[in-house]
Amino acid sequence: MKIIILTLFPEMFTALGASIMGRAQKAGKLEIEVVDIRSYTEDKHQKCDDYPFGGGAGMVMMAQPIGSAIEAVDPNHKARRIYLSPKGRRLDQEHVIALAEEETLVLLCGHYEGVDQRAIDLFIDEELSIGDYVLTGGELPAMVLTDCVARYIDGVLSPASLVDESFSDGLLEYPQYTRPVEYRGLTVPEVLRSGNHAEIDRWRHEQALALTRKHRPDLLK
């Protein structure tokens, strides 16, 4: 899978070179191309943002550099083009799994007060939000989307890692423990050390249900 990220701040994406995302790229499972929108501006001062029509605080990213950048990286509109935005549909695991089937994603990161609506109307397939809060830019949301989609690319994780985790069966995941058996007076539940896998499965399911009821009762509906 290829993910093309359009941003005014390409230097923010070094984080994607670390850990599992870094290994996925080295193994050729995932290709990430970070494109500087500024290199597509036709403004002689390299300007990419301007004041909003109608007044108001902040600056708005101009449509021209965004449009030219998208047309350059995806000239025949083969990719799914996504604008990360708090105004978009809220991202969830089901949608992440569907996006992992795409061959190429183009992710547009807004900044300041957002982007000129015409860039969205003309060039974007879908607006996605990573949650009901506002960040300063779309760069972190683009990294979030890249990370959670890449987990579902074949060979990035072992298949066992993708089952039995939060949202995979509609519940949050049960509590996890590792060594030592005792830490500051708290011990690992006896059942997890019993070797009785039927009992362990039952305990984990009960814990997952209780945790979901407590933290996310909406999922039980």
Ligand X SMILES: C[S@@+](CC[C@H](N)C(=O)[O-])C[C@H]1O[C@@H](n2cnc3c(N)ncnc32)[C@H](O)[C@@H]1O
Site of interaction with ligand X (CB under 6 A): 84-87, 109-111, 113-115, 129-131, 133-138, 141
For ligand X, give the closer residue by CB, 141 or 151. Answer: 141
Measured between alpha carbons, how far is 93 from 125 in angstroms, rounded to an integer?
A: 19
CB of 110 to ligand X, least distance (A): 2
- What three-state secondary structure class fits 187? strand
Measured between alpha carbons, how far is 184 from 197 in angstroms, rounded to an integer?
A: 27
- Which position's Cβ is nearest ligand X? 110
* Positive or negative: CA dihedral 159, 138, 9, 73: positive
- What three-state secondary structure class fits 126? strand
Contact 58, 28 (CB under 8 A): no
For ligand X, give the closer residue by CB, 78 or 87. Answer: 87
For ligand X, give the closer residue by CB, 65 or 141. Answer: 141
For residue 3, which of 169, 177, 151, 213 has the smallest C-alpha distance? Answer: 151
Measured between alpha carbons, how far is 41 from 62 in angstroms, rounded to an integer?
A: 9
CB of 138 to ligand X, least distance (A): 3
For ligand X, give the closer residue by CB, 30 or 86. Answer: 86
For ligand X, give the closer residue by CB, 65 or 86. Answer: 86
CB of 156 to ligand X, least distance (A): 23
CB of 205 to ligand X, least distance (A): 33
**Token pair recorded at residue 8:** 């005014």
CB of 57 to ligand X, least distance (A): 9
